[in-house]
Amino acid sequence: MNKQLESFISANKRRIDEVLPQTVQNLSMPAALKESMLYSIEAGGKRVRPLLLLAAFQSYQESRDNVVQAACAVELIHTYSLIHDDLPAMDDDDYRRGKLTNHKVYGEAHAILAGDAMLTRAFELLAELPDTSDHSKVMLILELSRAAGAEGMVGGQVADMEGEKSTLNLQELESIHHRKTGDLLGFSIIAGGILAGAPEEDLSKLRAFGRELGLVFQIKDDILDVEGDSIEMGKPAGSDENKDKSTYPKLLSLEGAKEKLSWHAEKAKEYAGQLNGKSEILTEFVEYIQHRTK
Amino acid sequence: MNKQLESFISANKRRIDEVLPQTVQNLSMPAALKESMLYSIEAGGKRVRPLLLLAAFQSYQESRDNVVQAACAVELIHTYSLIHDDLPAMDDDDYRRGKLTNHKVYGEAHAILAGDAMLTRAFELLAELPDTSDHSKVMLILELSRAAGAEGMVGGQVADMEGEKSTLNLQELESIHHRKTGDLLGFSIIAGGILAGAPEEDLSKLRAFGRELGLVFQIKDDILDVEGDSIEMGKPAGSDENKDKSTYPKLLSLEGAKEKLSWHAEKAKEYAGQLNGKSEILTEFVEYIQHRTK
């Protein structure tokens, strides 16, 4: 990994890992709920979405506390979606990031409710952002609700479940990934721009960048699922393939998927290069996601 | 039911029943998701929360379209909570309002996701409210997230589940009901005040009114569960008692519960009477909830 990105990630990931539990810790709620929320929040992960939000923000300004809080909101959404996806009624996964899934530890009811509470808390965090205009808060909440809801992530999850019943073509697969993964990554990027007061023309470039990055992320995920090492991945390699699921390597061959990965990575870097802000960290992020090994 | 309240409910309920499905109908999402969301949205119900929001608003101003949209947001939160509560991992209910529960028709995965999508959509509706200042939108979103999240409804639900394991005293039972039912009713009331631009002193009266009304609602629910007719209730009478659950009649005797119901109803009407706005509809609402037979 590039040195500049490495120091960006190490400094900012530490800050996210520190603030994220506080967004739940300080609330008054039943101990059982807090424990199950904190369990998943502290289960680790790459924190890609909050880091992207901070990276987009820092293309325009030095980091501030309200930005870390917004970054935690997007990670709460991501974490809730994992808890609900892992449930027996959905993917029925026992392990996530090498640890037992939430419902395996706390039971299904608590896992469902911990997810509901995180989703709700994310909107509260945005509405509570310090040093942020009401106008920016409303923009952020609009963007997040669209990215995370029926037209975005939740809709993508349903389309993905429906898609498992049939063979998808590339366009259908892409549409699912845009919603299931891309929209929330895209939100992270554009939220950084909104908070930094980026010019209107940059917001649409950031949106386009986020869309491409989402595909890079997903195609790489599919490739890793074929090639990856199950210990590094925290789940068995080939687990998607076992389920007869449509993936990029399956539709395009492994070589074709790799070519497509490079194409979207180039496209993302092109959009980053067109920003009025600095684009180094965003560009290096694309390469990091493109070349990651887990 | 009082004539004035009857005409208020009949006119406004019709409007809610008309607008509520549109808040989902017009979105682009997988057909399976839309169908399961609409199923629960159109399953009927008394629409108490949105009606209360409109009633509080109309204490100050004539109804407007943005207010109906906010009213739909609170009904979406209520509906999502019912879908998740009915799941096998929670209350495991097959029927709701005399119809099969969402997961019995669409399966658990779709029911979980339909709930997630409704919760998210509620915040989007508030952020999208027409003719509303950004400041009011942020206030509404803050109030809703607090009322519906870990410190409010979701926390109340967890406390309720934990409480089933032991015998509760009155204070514990009350605290659960405040969160599980009262906070969202309270939000409905205060949201009407915020949208109408009610004076600051009225907002705290509206909040207190909402808290009392929440107890009236819950105590009456417990009484109906002992006395009610299973056809009118849409669920078997005595179903809570069967589960050895703490209820007001159990802790206070049926007579004691009825006295407490009257006391909180009086208290609610007292707060309503202190408003600068008109209080007739709110007062009549208390009596309606206090005396309802289902």
Three-state DSSP string of chain A: CCHHHHHHHHHHHHHHHHHHHHHHHCCCCCHHHHHHHHHHHCCCCCCHHHHHHHHHHHCCCCCCHHHHHHHHHHHHHHHHHHHHHHCCCCCCCCEECCEECHHHHHCHHHHHHHHHHHHHHHHHHHHCCCCCCHHHHHHHHHHHHHHHCCCCHHHHHHHHHHHCCCCCCHHHHHHHHHHHHHHHHHHHHHHHHHHHCCCHHHHHHHHHHHHHHHHHHHHHHHHHHHHCCHHHHCCCCCHHHHCCCCCHHHHHHHHHHHHHHHHHHHHHHHHHHCCCCCCHHHHHHHHHHHHCCC
Query: Would the pLDDT of A92 be above 70?
Result: yes
Q: Which of the four pLDDT bands, split at 50, 70 and 90, describes residue A62?
A: confident
**For residues B137, B140, B142 and B147, what is the CA-based torsion angle, rounded to 10 degrees?**
-160
pLDDT of res. A243? 60
Picking from A81, A119, A142 by the largest number of B CB atoms within 10 A of its own CB, the best residue to mutate is A119
Residue of A90, A93, A103, A113 to mutate for B, most B C-beta atoms under 10 A:
A113
8 Å CB contact of A117 and B154: yes
| Tens of pLDDT, residues A137-150 | 999 999 999 999 99
pLDDT tens track for A187-203? 999 999 999 999 999 99
> Quick check: B243 pLDDT over 80?
no
pLDDT given at position B179: 95
* Contact between chains at B142 and A128 (C-beta distance less than 8 A): yes
Residue B284 reports pLDDT greater than 60: yes
Q: DSSP 3-state helix, strand, coil percentages of chain B (rounded to 5)?
A: 75, 0, 25
Using an 8 Å CB-CB cutoff, list chain A residues near B149: 117, 120-121, 124
Cβ <8 Å between A112 and B28: no
Sequence-separated (6 or more) residues with CB below 8 Å from residue A7: none
Question: Could you read off the pLDDT of A14-35 as tens digits, one per residue?
Answer: 999 999 999 999 999 999 999 9
- pLDDT tier for residue A50 given thresholds of 50, 70 and 90: very high
Chain B CB contacts of A127 below 8 Å: 138, 141-142, 145
pLDDT digit string (tens) for A207-224?
999 999 999 999 999 999
Residue A39, pLDDT > 90, answer: yes
pLDDT of residue B220: 95
Q: What is the reported pLDDT for B234? A: 54
Contact list, B151 vs chain A (CB under 8 Å): 27-29
Q: Is the pLDDT of residue A246 over 90?
A: no
How far lies A87's CA from each of A95, A100, A102, A118, A285, in Å?
11, 12, 8, 16, 31
Cβ atoms < 10 Å from Cβ of A132:
20
Q: Do B154 and A113 touch (CB under 8 A)?
A: yes
> DSSP string covering B142-187, please?
HHHHHHHSTTTHHHHHHHHHHHTTS---HHHHHHHHIIIIIHHHHH
Q: Between chain A and chain B, how many beta carbons pairs sit less than 8 Å apart?
A: 159
Q: Are B132 and A160 in contact (CB under 8 A)?
A: no
Model confidence at B238, pLDDT cuts 50, 70, 90, reads: low
Q: What is the pLDDT of residue B29?
A: 97
CB contact under 8 A, B116 and A151: no
Q: Kindly report the pTM of this predicted structure.
A: 0.94
Q: For residue B101, is pLDDT > 90?
A: yes
Flag whether pLDDT at B124 surpasses 80: yes
**Interface with chain B: mutation pick from A23, A74, A79, A112, highest number of B CBs within 10 Å:** A112
At B45-92, the pLDDT tens digits run 899 999 999 999 999 998 787 899 999 999 999 999 999 999 999 999
ipTM of predicted assembly, 2 dp: 0.94
Share of chain B above pLDDT 90, in %: 85
- Report the residue of chain B nearest A151, measured CA to CA: B29
Give the one of B110, B128, B145 whose C-beta lies nearest to A127's C-beta: B145
pLDDT (average), residues B163-175: 89
Q: Which residues of B touch A144 (CB under 8 A)?
A: 123
Which domains are assigned to chain B? 3-227+246-291 (1.10.600.10)
- What pLDDT score was predicted for residue A239? 54
Task: Say yes or no for a CB contact (<8 Å) between B84 and A112.
Answer: yes
In the predicted model, is pLDDT for residue B236 greater than 70?
Answer: no
Q: How many CB atoms lie within 10 A of CB B167?
A: 11
Q: Do B142 and A162 touch (CB under 8 A)?
A: no
The whole-chain average pLDDT of chain A stands at 93
Name the average pLDDT for chain B: 93
pLDDT above 90 for A89 = yes
A136 to chain B nearest CA, in Å?
A: 9
Per CB-CB distance under 8 Å, the chain A contacts of B87 are 108-109, 112
- Contact assignment for B141 to A154 by CB distance below 8 Å: no
